[in-house]
A and B are shown apart, each in its own frame.
Chain A
């Protein structure tokens, strides 16, 4: 209950424009997503699958049901959860596998179209660790843009919803995504080449 109370309190602060509250919120929901990930890892015909978007959904339901947290709406929640989902997924992969490239034996499912737009083709698996690092770098120089990437990849939201969640326009979201595709492609390309050597 204390957890729920603190999340609710953080939400209020966040809504009032307290930026600090955002990272605290992320920290608060991390364990819940973690838990969801544990139970969510499924045996699949292609191996173990971790669906990032399902994870985000499930944690939302859990948070809403168990903790009675007053999210404004789904978008509101996803805006914060997106980056946390990424953290959970990457941590999960890191802990499980020595070979962290391409997620080891766990197949991470994200919004497929978005994934393909970044890596260009389905030929090689996305290097999650490199992507994570690249997104962290992007977050430092262009936080809004990184946020859009997280939301596009790790939540089931479409551009309209992302725009609503960010309080910006669909056009702006589109521009962020467009830039991110180029920028990440370059970053990942370099990571990829380093690998091939």
Chain B
């Protein structure tokens, strides 16, 4: 072994990292032997890596839980004889012990681990001794002694509490909510007493709160208590050793800021949450310390009610109690209960069925939640459509919030507040709030601000634009863009590129191309913008059906991105789509498998990106026209995705739609029905009824129903529904298409009169029929002609029944027939 300390460290670190995660710690300890400093160093370093996991890593937790060599029973420490270990705290092992000279008195002896015997830890340890001596409360395990023995081993002697952790006690005795709160209030009284002595605990957690057999609650371990006054001259603010327990640490502790009474309020909130809900507020199992900390810093916990539902537990939790816990758990200290007394008073009021201080939530708080949602969207902006959707929808549904703690944009807050209040997602119980609606509201709220030319707004607007594009809300994006253009004379390359993308998505490819050219030469763009540029170019070429070129464009985009990049999956999906359309399905699938392998190095197995890649696979198969394969593999892929995302997610909706379309192409209409129905339902839930995707899905469903000649009533009501939903300018083309399709169906069913009315009415708009696209116009003409003759608007002895004949022969004295004749004539003479 090398003698240089760093070489030793490197060697051990490298070897440990090559091992599976769960073996590393033990390996390091074994290899380091007596060199405990080396072991601690390596373990700490291991904890900093991107691959670390909270449950096995995280330097502080490791230290807290490291199974230090237990002292042999019978060992003496000062005047105490140690018996079996009964637990371990942040600083070391705790043993049952008794005094040598008074064998009747059992005590708990906490042995401070030598690693912590750095000078300032010893100092703290001495502080603890003085602090604890001042605490005298039935709910606090009282302090007896503290000393070091002849070997220099430091220890604290405390009252031995023979009890069970509070959470376990609650479970074992099947306590109801009231009984749990009674128990918890005992704890509050104890903490309140300590606060009265100007002592805060800083490490209140489930393991530190025991309930004795006689029902008395005892709080243990004022291990890192801090004096509020500096009367003792012990000002260790900003404790660097991070001895707190990460799972119940308050945001300020994670940030390394100083603690105060509200830090204890937070920790008590964490405990009360788990006590009442029966489940911890965050899952810690599958995230890295960094992720967990981010949650603590930014993600407000779900309501206990929601959390229980998630876990498949039932049992109602009163709303007020949820509010009380939420108040204790606020990220900002000043929004928490300012004192234990206030916390306790609310619980007392709750028990007495009186209104609590937090019932009902203020508009501002709700507004913040919205900003928070927006921030979530920001983080994921321009991910594939589904990430955004699920993010927005989940946040709306579950009332989850990403806090905007460090959000400097008060402007953004106000904008979003307006948007939020306008959209009223709080009225969830009342009606359907779709992501689209919220976005729509934010767009209109943002518009006036665009004129202020505020750059902060620009950032926000860019995010909004990217979210809209990724959700496929092209028309909304277009409106955002227009609003931005009104206010800003200076245009950033990013906005320019996004504008080009909007044109491309709208199908105006020439405009997109020229817009792109105006964004400046590629070499002048920043790295991100260059990627966006290639992406837009790819979208243009793919829509021009230059698949070969498009594949090259997206390949370049893919290569420029890392799997952790939000656009990465999208780029892969587009690339494979282009390849599949180019008759290169095997390459497309190879490329997707390669992407999957690459993703495995970056994401946990259950990361949604894997599902998105699966969906891309299905899309490629579908695009290649290999129907047999689509129908063979499609249902399996759907079955794989549905449990992960819920059957009513846009992602599953897309997969179902593809499978449904596959059956339709194979003329298996009845088989297509359930898939198309589920697709429509998923889009309806996630995107809202008026969304283009939702409408298309409904149209496919109706086509299948009609083709299978099933449920005429449903077909009719669905057509009417779609036509109503698409009565907006943005959806004009769809609306026309739907009316023509409805008329065709009616005519086929023999309702010629109704069909003729509908078709004639389409010309009543200002634009006449000029707005129709070629396909719709041709259909319109054909079926107008058909309905005209079928309605016997005129007679044709020669039985040509053509538009030309309709024009020549006199029409019946009937307004609709006349109008129809006019339309038929104009078109025959026009062409």
Contact = CB atoms under 8 A, between A and B. Distances in A.
Interface of A: 44-46, 49, 109, 112-113, 116-117, 120-121, 141-142, 145, 175, 178-179, 181-183, 185-186, 189, 193-194, 196-197
B13 A45 contact: no
A78 B257 CA distance: 42
B14 interface: yes
B48 A186 contact: yes
Given A49-B526, A183-B48, 12 more contacts: A45-B494, A45-B526, A45-B529, A116-B562, A117-B50, A141-B6, A175-B14, A182-B48, A182-B49, A186-B48, A196-B256, A197-B238
B48 A178 contact: no
Which size class do B's interface residues fall under? Answer: 20 to 34
B217 interface: no
A181 B492 contact: no
Nearest to A187: B48
Given A120-B50, A181-B50, A197-B257, A142 B562 contact: no
A145 B7 CA distance: 11
B564 interface: yes
A6 to B, nearest CB: 34
A182 B43 CA distance: 11
Nearest to B252: A196
Contacts of A141: 6
B45 A186 contact: yes
A182 B13 contact: yes
B240 to A, nearest CB: 7
Contacts of B258: 197
A194 B50 CA distance: 22
Contacts of A185: 48-49
A101 B46 CA distance: 27
25 contacts: A45-B492, A45-B493, A109-B526, A112-B527, A116-B562, A120-B50, A121-B290, A141-B6, A142-B6, A142-B10, A175-B14, A178-B14, A178-B49, A179-B10, A179-B14, A181-B48, A181-B49, A181-B50, A182-B13, A182-B48, A183-B45, A185-B48, A193-B256, A197-B238, A197-B258
B198 interface: no
Residue of A45, A175, A185 with highest tally of chain B CB at under 10 A: A45
A48 to B, nearest CB: 12
Contacts of A193: 240, 255-256
Interface of B: 6, 10, 13-14, 17, 44-46, 48-50, 238, 240, 255-258, 290, 492-494, 526-527, 529, 562, 564
Given A120-B290, A142-B6, A178-B17, A196 B49 contact: no
A154 B564 CA distance: 21
Contacts of A120: 50, 290
A175 B15 CA distance: 10
Interface of A is mostly: helix
A44 B529 CA distance: 11
B527 A109 contact: yes
A49 B529 CA distance: 14
Given A49-B526, A182-B13, A193-B255, A116 B46 contact: no
Contacts of A178: 14, 17, 49
Contact of A179 (B13, B493, B529): B13
Contacts of B526: 44-46, 49, 109
A119 to B, nearest CB: 10
Contacts of B17: 178
A81 B50 CA distance: 28
Given A113-B562, A120-B50, A186 B44 contact: yes
Contact of A196 (B13, B50, B257, B492): B257
Contacts of B13: 179, 182
Nearest to B5: A141
A131 to B, nearest CB: 15
A116 B14 contact: no
Of B6, B45, B49, B257, most A-chain CB atoms within 10 Å: B49
A182 B257 CA distance: 23
Contacts of A189: 48
B493 to A, nearest CB: 6
A182 B17 CA distance: 11
A197 B494 contact: no
B474 to A, nearest CB: 24
A197 B49 CA distance: 24
A185 B58 CA distance: 13
Contacts of A194: 256
Contacts of B14: 175, 178-179
User: Counting chain A CB atoms within 10 Å of each CB, which of B10, B258, B492, B527 scores highest?
Assistant: B10
Contacts of B257: 196-197
Contacts of A116: 562, 564
A42 B257 CA distance: 38
Contacts of A113: 562
Contacts of A49: 526
A45 B493 CA distance: 7
Nearest to B491: A45
A141 B257 CA distance: 31
A4 B463 CA distance: 50
Nearest to B49: A182
Nearest to A175: B14
Nearest to B256: A193
Contacts of B48: 181-183, 185-186, 189
Contacts of A179: 10, 13-14, 45
Nearest to B4: A141
A142 B4 CA distance: 11
Contacts of A196: 255-257
B154 to A, nearest CB: 26
A25 B46 CA distance: 36
A186 B60 CA distance: 12
8 tightest A-B contacts by CB?
A: A193-B256, A185-B48, A141-B6, A182-B49, A186-B48, A45-B492, A182-B45, A182-B48
A28 to B, nearest CB: 30
A196 B258 CA distance: 10
Contacts of A112: 527, 562
A193 B494 CA distance: 34
Contacts of A186: 44-45, 48
Contacts of B49: 178, 181-182, 185
Contacts of A145: 10
Contacts of B564: 116
B33 to A, nearest CB: 22
